[in-house]
Structure 1
């Protein structure tokens, strides 16, 4: 994943020209650099406040000297460094490809044989690292890169020579919750055994999709790491004993990497080595191997031919003005900042920002500096050849976009080729600043769109022009973001500690229902309105607001959104970790299923199956009649689903996944650089809005996973609503109507 350089980023570090951001950590930022000959390297630049500390520089120099001695098949070694530079920095071999964390998020847990092959590669990597007198201290899924010939352990930025102590003087706490050893967390002496502990946690994550000490706050995970036994029940039996030894609390009882390799061989049924040859990508699960192959296309198999460059299209004419102001036109520089948002690129594509040098860029088929903009296309799991050849559709927003595909060789990065792609764009039909809250999805009924706002809890706008028809506000909590529902000529809006019923035509209040706590997530169905407040799920009459029943949950502030289908309310009980089915008329529980802590987003029910996501970063498909599990899928952080045409579209881990509704098998995956809103599906297109740094509304082909177009929202956005040939999406302060 590449990010555009920003104003404060260096353009030259040592002999390396800096061309993009790769990421950041506690001790500095990592950049993509180029040698004078064009070879790619990863350059880590130390944070200025650390580099100014003389003691830190001394330790950093010792660390670099030790790391230079690490040069094994399963590591990305240090190639250059200047601990005394301004800034201090080190450069390592650049490894393009997929991280282990990304692979598990996109494709789910791995079967036993690939996990054993991974374990063997990582154990050998640790053997080399420890032999050089280095302790990595932060081995985790994002620090493991996957290549055709085996995994690579990366990021020695906080590795320490084994005689060094923790860098407490600089305020740095090396390690990541869930993968840190007990001795790291309790400030005891740290040695190579802490990396073996982290390896056990990494293998558990790879095989199950979750860490051995659960999820939650860093404090909770760290407490369980120090004082509780790991949960290894989901591990295959052949792996459980190996991992259990790695996760022993006492570092002296953990195996060394060499011993671990022997035990892995026994688990795999071999003599001295795991019987998998790490020279081809088939050592990984098939779907992961395909994605890795796409991202690291070889020079003999270019990812895509280079089409002729085209000039920028003329700007589209603006929509007729309305009485609502629209965002001012952007300058080219502002467009650069907007369009060059970080995102995960396609497997065969990497992004390259514009250089600041006046010299031309020596790459195949290109004789001008690289534009500061990004290519984007989905990762198609079933048919990688097709995915590599296909590109995004639609008109170019400003300039042609460049991508790089390469492969790691003994000498570093081999350039496979450069090519131009297009980036589809849209302009809004209209924009309204009267309404808009990123907490609530707009509701559309006929020619009116209803949306919550900042100055009033409810607005009614003309769906075609965006002109305000009416607004509804209250004295109490008038500016509180509101969730909405509608039924039988009424809109139901949450305003602080009351649920309001408002006439859809006139904006007049019909009734309100007071509670002692904040009201959340109303759902209207069959003459009742269901919503959470305090520790209860309420059901009130949709016409007069009288309470029918309330169901006591285990939460102190119940926020979960219910879904009502065929007389049954499906809702998650957050603390106890279950999904419940309640009788819609009486509130009596029909069944409960202990799938884990269910997220606040509403479950989805289709064809007798209920789909829910959990805080354990998984999507579960349950029988709607009895709650029995049908299948599960590891989504990654987030999780919100929509079902259409036998396909489940679920967001999580900065990915949009398309899954077969019957089996849970993945059809395709569409990656972006930030978390996502719940998806909306209409007329063969999936619409998603990114909710953090990416700030776009995407239209994705439901069948193929190809991007059709995107629209910059400039802020976190709601779940889209599709009607009248428009996609309505609200941010915190604006409502956009974008042509489909």
Structure 2
């Protein structure tokens, strides 16, 4: 860290500036402290560039972009003033080493650690892409290793999928050796470009050297476009994981979800961030960053309680120690007026309705056996749910259901105990997960109400006249009003962003999905409408697709629709790419395809007595026959190596092999007594089943 010089600010918003952490062609990053002494990194546009409309636009976009992405795998935004005379963006202090520093100090990653890195980064990319954004600059310097896993930083050139990079004249729009061929060539890029960058990052972590090298920048970029990656030092099994990511053709690269599944690190691999030499280094840096200064400037004990205004500030010496040790810091932010969140927003009693704590951490359950009787993880819990509850909703460490007697209840995913209840919520309006941190509900008056998932603490509300909650992405809630209009509510300020009459009538209780910049809704009549999430304007419609409201699935720019036929349509314009006919002729809604689930690049859907495994190009990977599924079909639930489906009456739920090459070909069934409704959901190797008013958690295999 360098001392402040002439022209450097002494204060930005709530932050007292202590020194300069770094500088680039467009701005500086300062070390700042808020009024409670908590450190932050504050990124500021250079004064001579603040008047440049195009560069100011990029800075504002970076702020808005960083605010949109709420994944656990990115740095948390703390504050921003992106449109002031001296725009700035602040984010949490990340004291761990960057990936390039870790590889330089400790050498290439071994198989298990590399697979854990691949899984974590792939999941983060999936979280970024679900917001409609592409990071566009993933590289080892933009990956910070922390005790909670790798974190992706720097959204400076992140753009929507359809956007072009905004750069200064003469600036290279991509980091040589890590940007995809289409970026080098100045073409439009999509999520596949980030997958290429991830492949290059993993190749570096596995071998200790870049996959593309050259004596000149132009030579490196030529190799990216025309040459082959150097993977000679990457161990064979890892090469099979990494090489597909580096395909020249974006369409040939795997999806992040597939890559996360294919990585398959060993059980308990998360411990690599908390044990071993690298973890010791991370822990030392993080401890130094947390350590306040005593009267003499030396270390003192770190209080266990939430730091308050009287807590001593971190000394410059302590922070210098963390930064000099290679700690990485990031500033990011949000658009609009100035705003800020407490760095310890998880503390109880916060009065700010937008001060949302980070998502809770929860361990995955151990896999069950693929033979013998299925023993529940917990339950069955009798009469805890409304018999007509929507499907269970796992949100990290709780699973949410419509409670018996009214309201919404959240149960602990590890033992089934009721953690909290919202009595004013209307269960039949549905409930949603917002960024894996909030549970969204609606009350009798149509007011949208949100609760911290882990604790049930009430947060922001919005008077939106909600009749049915449809879907949520990282920053917005989409709903159908009592007047039959579509409405978007921003999670940033609880304001209605837009209200639109849908392009066709949405009867009954619609089912919806959001992705690729669209909200896709299927009404009770089986008609499908797609609108843009940015303004609610019509994108396309498709009439007569299904006999009832079936939830669509959106993945990789394609919308998958069950119904009378199974259809894959292009998200951008609704053009049908391919379709499949059902095994049996459709009559009175008894046959046809159910709602799809996409996992690891495979589309799963029920077709009368068969579970169909379809590929994104329309090919069929496998057909697995089920004993007794019953209409209306439920979306299959994919967990670990199994796919679970609900069956009729007193049969129960069955798990079938997920992979066509699996040695196990027999379904495993957990019997349930007959009930009018039966729904299921899964998360982190747990299957949650609602059978009427009974809730049970099952292991998967």
Please classify the TM superposition score into its range, dividing by the shorter chain length. 0.3 to 0.5
Larger Rg: 1
Q: What TM-score comes out, normalization by structure 2 length?
A: 0.42
TM-score by length of 1: 0.40
